[in-house]
Structure formats: structure tokens, C-alpha cells
Structure 1
């Protein structure tokens, strides 16, 4: 017996799997990275956290040296103010801070240095399919291996310097020390504000809470 759809309305949904078909299998690094992100997500769920994103730093190092964290989305957001017309009240729209390509970073410098060679020569770290054993199986993206930046490590370093300031500038310190600290903090705050919100086009999300 021929089956027929008896509903009131039918609308087929098509999906293009071209990218999935052309994509390669995940590498060992991809698997480790995905596993760690899932592990962090499990801890966030267990802690009842919402509005957070799982992050991993020190990816260029071995897995046991990776730094795991949960970053609130609001810390990465700002409110862009839009004007609909002259005299209109600005309308705030939350958005994630853009992360443009660092044209002064090591990855881009290496690309510019090797650009002419890429046109003529073949550069393959693994001349074939993804390998899970043997030489090259644990290779990581070049953009990770050539960077010497440690984001979470820099955050910890900043905290150490702030703690030193609290230790030096406390009741009983000299007036000159206090003035120097205030002047320096004002300058740093001004510079960071300009860098974070150019032309006052954006304001941190917490300003609107």
C-alpha cells in the first residue's frame, strides 16, 4: 500500500553537507581540545553557571599544562550605541568584542615571510591523511606553536603587580608614594579606556546594569 502524507502542510528542509564531506578527521590535538572543553562545560553545569564560555589557555604546551577556565560572556561584551537620527536617544546593543587579525603577530609575520615560497613550493607537515600514531601525529597548528603569549599567565602576572601595589600603597606610606600611585593609575585607566572603547563608541556592558 502506498503511503501518503495526510497532514495539512508539508515543507521539506534540505541541508548541504559539502563542508562535512570535504573535512578531514579530527587530529589528536582536536580530540584533546574538544574533550577538555566538554570537561569544563560539565563543571560549569554542575556549578549551576549560565552565560559562561569554556576556555583553555596554553594550548601550545602539553595537555597537562593547559589552563582551564570559565569566562563570563558579559566580560567579553560591550554595548554599541546606535543613533537612528539627529536628536534621537542612543540605543544600546550588546555585542562580543571583535578579534581582528594581529598584523604584528608572529603568525602573520611568518605568512608574509613565506608567501612567495608558498606560491612555488609544497609545504606539508603531514603529506596525507590525519595520522593518530607515529611522527607528526601530535602536531599542533602553526599559529599556536609559534606564539609565545600566555593569556591566562599574563592575567596572573597583572594580579601579582596589583597585589604589590596594594602592599606598597597602604596607610602609613609616604605622601609622594601615594601621589605617584594615583597619577600612574589615572594614566593607566585612561589609556586602557581609550584602547577598549575607541572614540567612545562602546561602553562596557556592566555600565548599563
Structure 2
């Protein structure tokens, strides 16, 4: 059963996705930060899908090469691994059992345990998630024609170019 935090997060993601669709901002992944704070302090934004991918063009004149792509690794989070050394030995750690989810009362606003974990554990979880996404992507694109992939790339690049032209989106103009 989802907790109040799960419901708030799901609602925020769905609402933001609806705002993106209504504003015709397709190709964006909803990004919510400051999840450890109160819901009113969360920051909601969008990340272009194309920024998560790398495309490698085939060499000019080489018709046997195919367009390749991959998801970028999140190496920027590896700085968090220094926190791993501060973890106590497993036999010295305190067992945390939050019990059943509370929907009312003083414990209803308790944050999920994942947000309370040291960053190193979350980095490992994210790495595993990225590996699973990569596997899913390779299975989903198996047998996909090169022309389709090129068309998708062209559409994503067009979206990026359009966003760069809008002064209200990048905040620099």
C-alpha cells in the first residue's frame, strides 16, 4: 500500500507530466528534487530525454555501420561513494523497522527509508536501475529499423533546438 509520501510523489509527477503535455513540451522526463523537504519545498522540473542518450553516427560512406545509442552513465554521483567508509559494521547497525504505513497522526509524514540511506547505497541502487534500463532498451530496440531510429533522433534533436530558441525555457536570454 502506498504511503502518503508515495501518493504525493505520484501526484506531483503526474501533474507535472500533464502540465508538460498541455504546454506541448513533449520529450521531457519529470524531475523532482528536494524530496527530503516538505512537499511545498519540492522543486519540479523537466529533463529532455535526449540529454540522457548518446548517439554515435556511422562513419561517412560506411553503409554497414548502424546508428548506435546508449544511456549516459551517471558518473557525476560517484563522489558520494566516500560516505560508504562511515558506515558501521553490519553487526553494529541499528535495525530499522518502520512498521505499517501511517496515514494519519504524528508518523504520517515519515519519509521513506530510501531517502534516509547513505548516498552510497542510493548510488548503487541507481547503477542497478540504469543497468536494467539499458537491458530493457536493448530488448525493446532489437529489430528496430535504422530509419526509425534516425527519425526518432531527428525528432529529439528538433525538440532540443526548439527549446534552445525559447528564451523563457533556458533562463539565459
TM-score by length of 1: 0.46
- Does the alignment pair 1:122 with 2:122? no
Residues 107 and 35 of structure 1, relative CA distance in 2, 3 Å threshold: farther
Kept in 1: contact 2:29–2:48 (CA 8 A): yes
Match of 2:24 in 1: 48
Aligned partners of 1:102 and 1:108 also within 8 Å: no
The within-5 A match list for 1:1-209 is 25-79=1-55, 91-99=66-74, 104-105=79-80, 109=84, 112-118=87-93, 122-124=95-97, 126=98, 128-145=99-116
Contact between 2:57 and 2:67, CA under 8 Å: does it hold in 1? yes
Shift of 1:106: 6.9
Q: Aligned equivalents of 1:117 and 1:100: distance in 2?
A: 30
RMSD: 3.7
Give the C-alpha shift of residue 146 in structure 1: 6.5
Aligned residue pairs, count? 121
Q: Quick one: distance in 1 between partners of 2:3 and 2:82? A: 21
Distance 1:102 1:51, change over 3 A: closer
Q: 1:56–1:110: structure 2 CA closer, same or farther, 3 Å change rule?
A: farther
Q: TM-score, normalised by structure 2?
A: 0.54
Measured in 1, the distance between the counterparts of 2:40 and 2:17 equals: 18
- When residues 68 and 74 of structure 1 are mapped into structure 2, their CA distance, relative to the original with a 3 A threshold, is same
- CA gap of 1:52–1:81, structure 2 versus 1, over 3 A, is same
Question: Contact 2:58 / 2:65 at 8 angstroms: preserved in 1?
Answer: yes
Larger radius of gyration: 1
Contact 1:55 1:68 (C-alpha < 8 Å) held by counterparts: yes
Is there any run of 5+ residues in structure 2 with no aligned partner, and where? 120-152, 158-173
Q: Which runs of 5+ in 1 are unaligned?
A: 1-24, 149-204
Distance 1:82 1:140, change over 3 A: farther
The structure with more helix, counted as a fraction of residues? 2
Deviations 1:88-110 (A, max 9, x none): 96533223223379565279628
